[in-house]
Amino acid sequence: QKEVEQNSGPLSVPEGAIASLNCTYSDRVSQSFFWYRQYSGKSPELIMSIYSNGDKEDGRFTAQLNKASQYVSLLIRDSQPSDSATYLCAVNILDSGAGSYQLTFGKGTKLSVIP
């Protein structure tokens, strides 16, 4: 079964520190990777996408992808209390039954930034 795995947390970091969120996936041929942020009681919001090996930076967020090791990570620099949320990793995985790629979500890592 094709899967996306995340540590459920909670991950607690002090304000101003770097938060590191990790995700592993099982499908070697996946090509598209996303990070979503979900605040409590709200719907998920797309914050990062990455398609190539290496790092992609957007403001305080950096996504890292290593296809050989099948992991993708999200770093949040200078963490703020407003970053406290659940972060969902999503990977496009081939659904052989449907014959198409489906975005598969991990269960999410809850991040708490302590003031």
Partner 1 sequence: GAVVSQHPSWVICKSGTSVKIECRSLDFQATTMFWYRQFPKQSLMLMATSNEGSKATYEQGVEKDKFLINHASLTLSTLTVTSAHPEDSSFYICSARGFGRDEQYFGPGTRLTVT
Which segment (9-17, 55-63, 64-72, 94-102) binds partner 1 by CB under 8 A? Answer: 94-102
Cβ neighbour number for residue 39 with a 10 Å cutoff: 13
Q: Within 13 Å and on the Cβ side, how many CA atoms surround 16?
A: 1
Member of 44, 64, 72, 85 binding partner 1 (CB under 8 A): 44
Measured CA to CA, the distance from residue 49 to residue 64 in angstroms comes to 10
Nearest 5°: the CA angle 83, 44, 1 is: 115
Alpha helices of the chain — where are they, by DSSP H? none
Among 16, 46, 53, 77, binds partner 1 (CB under 8 A): 46
Stretch of residues binding partner 1 (CB under 8 A), selected from 16-24, 28-36, 60-68, 74-82: 28-36
Q: Which stretch binds partner 1 (CB under 8 A): 16-24, 36-44, 66-74, 77-85?
A: 36-44
50 in Cβ contact with 89 (< 8 Å): no
Residue 9 Cβ, how far from partner 1 at the closest point, in Å? 12
Residue 49 engages partner 1 in binding (rule: CB under 8 A): yes
Among 18, 42, 77, 114, binds partner 1 (CB under 8 A): 42
